[in-house]
Amino acid sequence: MKFKDRILQSAAVKGSRVVLALDFSDPYEQRLARAERVLNAAKGGVAAVKVNHHLLLPYGLRGIGSLIETCRREELPLIADLKMNDIESTNLNIVDSLLAFGFDAVIANPFVGLEEGLGKVVERVHSGDGGIIFLVYMSHRGATEGYSLRVEGGETMYRLFARRAKEWGADGVVVSAKSPDKIAETREIVGKDCLIFSPGIGAQGGDLRTDVASKADFIIVGRSVTEAQDPLKVLKELNGK
């Protein structure tokens, strides 16, 4: 089963469209144990799990093996948020390692280009039934300084990146939940077959009461869940239950 089908199936089974971001800034020796506790408490209410450098740098792929196994056992797609942005040979090594260790998808930066950048990487990921998600518009305040820049012809970078997602065969895109107008623009460009993942709800200021709920396929949530006394209660609220 392909990544897109797996995550949509997980969302239907769990009754959730939340991707849980296990991003912790605790002392290094405490992060993995806390991530595992939160995941075990929240696993029934999330559609997928995302990890980034907070865990991957101090622990490595082997070091988070127990967390990967939990995601396998619970049939939760696991996404590596690396914002991959390197030359083809390095990118291929990255995705080969991720797939071999049990990851389902990786987030990549389309800025690096297609030829000797992401072209063969998309093919490699799909050949292993994995997924690739393109970064289109981030959720921090400075995002406008890069993603709203205009290229030759006047098009903004984020619209260009959305077009690349559609043309290069990405499975999904990341667009800030704090920018519902850009989610709408992106949807018009990528169509319904490309999933939209929106970070920024809660701690970063994004509000589900905006029309994000109707335009994004999944919301990426970290601190609102990971710092909650009752993660499942928060997840039910996020999922409208």
Q: What gap in Å lies between CA 155 and CA 136, rounded to an integer?
A: 13
Q: What gap in Å lies between CA 183 and CA 197, rounded to an integer?
A: 9
How many other CB atoms sit within 10 Å of the CB of residue 203? 13
Is the per-residue pLDDT at 204 higher than 90?
no
Is the per-residue pLDDT at 127 higher than 60?
yes
Structure confidence by residue, pLDDT tens digits, 192-203: 999 999 997 755
Is the per-residue pLDDT at 27 higher than 80?
yes
Considering only residues 208 and 90, tell me which one the structure prediction assigns the higher pLDDT.
90
In percent, how much of the chain has pLDDT > 70? 94
Residues 140-161 have a mean pLDDT of: 84
**Number of domains within the chain:** 1
Structure confidence by residue, pLDDT tens digits, 58-81: 999 999 999 999 999 999 999 999
Of 94, 38, 28, the closest CA to residue 61 belongs to 94
Residues 146-166 have a mean pLDDT of: 88
Structure confidence by residue, pLDDT tens digits, 172-182: 999 998 888 99
Structure confidence by residue, pLDDT tens digits, 80-124: 999 999 999 999 999 999 999 999 999 999 999 999 999 999 999
Print the domain residue range for 38: 3-238
Per-residue pLDDT, 241: 66
- DSSP E strands in the chain: the ranges are 18-21, 48-51, 78-84, 105-108, 131-137, 172-175, 195-199, 218-221
Q: Residue 176 maps to which CATH number?
A: 3.20.20.70
Is the per-residue pLDDT at 208 higher than 80?
no
Average pLDDT, the chain: 91
In percent, how much of the chain has pLDDT > 90? 71
